Amino acid sequence: MDNSSNDTYSTQNNEDIKSSTSSTGSPDDKYRIKPDINKNRFRANSRYFTIMVYCLAFVFFSILIFKFIGNMNTTLSFISSAINTISPFIVGAFIAFVLYPAVKFFYRKIFTGRLNIKSQKAAKMLSVLCTYIITLGIITILLVFIVPQVYSSLSEIANRLPVWYNNALDFIKNLEQRYPDVTFLDYDYINNKIESALPLITNYITGMMSSLLPVIFTTSMAIVKGLVNFIISIMVSVYMISDHKNLFYHGKRLLYSIVPVKTADTARNIARESANIFSGFIIGKAIDSLIIGIICFFAMLIFKFPYAMLISVIVGITNMIPYFGPYIGGIIGGIIILIVNPIQVVFFAILILVLQQFDGLFLGPKILGESTGLRPLWVIFAITVGGSLCGVLGMFLGVPVVAVIGYILNIIVDHFLKKKDVTVTPYDSPDEM
């Protein structure tokens, strides 16, 4: 073999070695066992790490709950103090929630609609200003015209209590003289109850008058504090309405950063529908009760019932409670009229019955519509349970709360039915037996 062939062979071998060296580093690297550089590095097990985090969170919250339960008085005092501290913000949020539809109406229908104001900022400021001026004007009218008349009626009732007391005694005596043979009436028992009522009332009034000075001081401080909190609440509500888009934006960012997108979308829909239910019910019921109170006032003036303003205010306020409200106001008003003129109680009862029918069949459905979507049975359930838990406020707020709970339960039931691929059809005619 000649040298040229050897040179060619060696050149090829050198090129092969170079190519292998350039690709792998050295000729022996491809035969060398490379150590795993990540072998000794710590890698967390995501599943067990998550379990550990949940366990630590469970232990932490268990300790907190045990601490709160073990010191219940301290906990309740802390919660009460915290609520009192932030109460102006809670009240401000409620005011903003109630007044926002009016602000939106002025903004869209009046200032940017009919008046065609180009500046959105100016239109918003004018809308807020008009809404609050009208609201404060209504409150001022109520305080200037209605409150003094109500106070005058209450004072007159208090002054006439002894006269009515003596009239009741005389009435029982006349009954006893006219119908001595009536056995189902225990005249002595009735007389003893009536005679013992006036001293109790007198002692109560005397005790109240003796402690009147501290009561006045405490009431004055409470009024001053309440006035300051009310002013702060008004300011908070104005800022909340003016800056509601920015507040909603940050709320959305926080929500979507914590929970999955689908869950966040569901939560937003629930919150939106709940707000519509509450606002529709509260605003609609307030307008409905105002109209009923005004009608009751003019009707009582026409038929010359006593204490028309006082009883109309009672009927209007109690009408905020669905179904039972008019009857509650009617009973209170009936007792007042019974003391003054027993014969007029019958006509007053007819008036209340007519008002209740008018409200239930015509006015209420026109104003409220389907704001809650609850059947009468669930409305009665909401009023009963809410009243037993939270008194009068529970009777009023029980209806929208149960409506929201029903809405959420309906979403959950629809989800599980869709998951099971089950379709439940309603009855063809619910009214058919």
**pLDDT tier, 193 (very low <50, low <70, confident <90, very high otherwise):** low
pLDDT score, position 298 = 92
pLDDT score, position 69 = 67
Least confident of 235-239, 327-331, 391-395: 391-395
Other beta carbons within 10 angstroms of residue 161's beta carbon come to 16
Q: Region 98-106: what's the mean pLDDT?
A: 88
Res 245 pLDDT > 80: yes
Token pair belonging to 20: 């292998």
Q: Region 14-22: what's the mean pLDDT?
A: 47
Token pair belonging to 116: 């065609």
117 phi and psi angles, rounded to 5 deg: -75, 125
The CA distance from 2 to 214, in Å, is 129
Q: Region 121-139: what's the mean pLDDT?
A: 89
**pLDDT tier, 129 (very low <50, low <70, confident <90, very high otherwise):** very high
pLDDT score, position 429 = 66
Helices (H), 114-259: 120-141, 147-178, 187-210, 212-242, 244-258
Place of tokens 């939270």: 390
pLDDT score, position 136 = 87
pLDDT score, position 42 = 46
Q: Region 334-341: what's the mean pLDDT?
A: 81
pLDDT score, position 6 = 47
Res 17 pLDDT > 80: no
pLDDT score, position 11 = 47
Query: How many Cα atoms are found within 13 Å in the side-chain-facing hemisphere of 276?
Result: 12
- Per-domain residue ranges of the chain: 90-242
pLDDT score, position 10 = 47
The CA distance from 328 to 222, in Å, is 29
Q: Region 163-169: what's the mean pLDDT?
A: 70
